[in-house]
Amino acid sequence: MRIVRKTGTLPMLHVTAVRALDNYRLWLCLDDGRQGEVDLSAELTGAVFYPLRDPHVFVRVAIDPVTRTIAWPNGADFAPEFLAKLLNKNAM
């Protein structure tokens, strides 16, 4: 019997810091060292994200200690991989 181990898997990304900016933008840092601003204005649609269009709600962003990504008190969150794509898009 041959045992094959899976190798080459990528580690999961996590958000290590976040700060709310104006106009539905965030500055964030990922645990792989990438950091910068992401614009979430086009992403705030649908039942869970629409409340974040209120600036007083948007600024309540925090890092969820379990998922280690950004989240809001109403349960809205974004995957770190999605945020990394936005960071890469802004870097171009």
Q: Give me the residue spans of the domains in the chain.
A: 15-86
Phi (first) and psi of residue 14, to 5 degrees: -140, 150
Q: What is the pLDDT of residue 91?
A: 64
- What parts of the chain have a pLDDT lower than 70? 1-10, 91-92
Task: Return the amino acid letter for 17.
Answer: A
Cα separation, 4 vs 67, whole angstroms: 30
Angle at the Cα of 24 from the Cα atoms of 26 and 42, rounded to 5 degrees: 110
Q: What is the pLDDT of residue 2?
A: 47
Cα separation, 29 vs 6, whole angstroms: 29
* Residues facing 36 on adjacent strands: 28
Query: In this structure, are residues 49 and 76 in contact, taking their beta carbons and an 8 Å threshold?
Result: yes
Q: What is the pLDDT of residue 30?
A: 97
Structural tokens at position 64: 């969820």
What is the helix (H) or strand (E) element at residue 79, kind and residue range?
none
* Residues facing 57 on adjacent strands: none
- Domain at 15-86, CATH homologous superfamily: NE0471-like N-terminal domain (3.30.2020.10)
Q: What is the pLDDT of residue 34?
A: 95
Q: What is the pLDDT of residue 11?
A: 76
Predicted TM-score (pTM) of the model is 0.84
